Structure 1
Amino acid sequence: MSVVIPCYNYGRFLRQCVNSVLYDQPGIEVEVIIVDDKSTDDSLTTAREIELKHANVKVIANDVNLGHIKTYNRGLDAATSPYVLLISADDLVTPGALTRAAELLEAEPSVGMVYGRSIDFHKDLPPCRTEQSSWIVWRGADWLRHRCQSGYNVIASPEVVMRTAVLRATGGYRSDLPHAGDFEMWLRTSAVSDVGFLVGVDQAFHRGHDRNMNRTMFKSGSEKGRLIDLKQRWQSFEVVFDGVGRGLAEGALLHKIARETMARQALEHINYAYARGFRDFPMEDFETFAKEVDPMVEQTRLGRRVARRKRLGMVSLPLHPLWALPAAHWRLKELLRRWRRAKIGV
Structure 2
Amino acid sequence: MKGLRELAAAIRSLEGPAALSTLVRARGSSYRKPGARMVHAPGGVRAGGISAGCLETDVLERVERVLAAGVPALATYDMGSDLDLVWGTGMGCQGRADVLMEPLEPGRLPWWMTWCLDLMETRGRGALATVWAAEAGAFAGPGDRFILTEDETQAPAALAEALRAVEASGEPADFEAEGVRALLEPVLPPTALWIVGAGDHARPLFRIARNLGWYLGLADHRPALATAARFPEADRILVGRAGDVLARVPFDARTGALVVSHVFEEDKAALDALLRAPLGYLGLQGNRRRSERLLQELEAERGPLPASGLAALHFPAGLDLGAESPEAIALSMIAEAQAVLSGRKGGPLRDRKLPIHG
TM-score by length of 1: 0.25
Bigger strand fraction: 2
Bigger helix fraction: 1
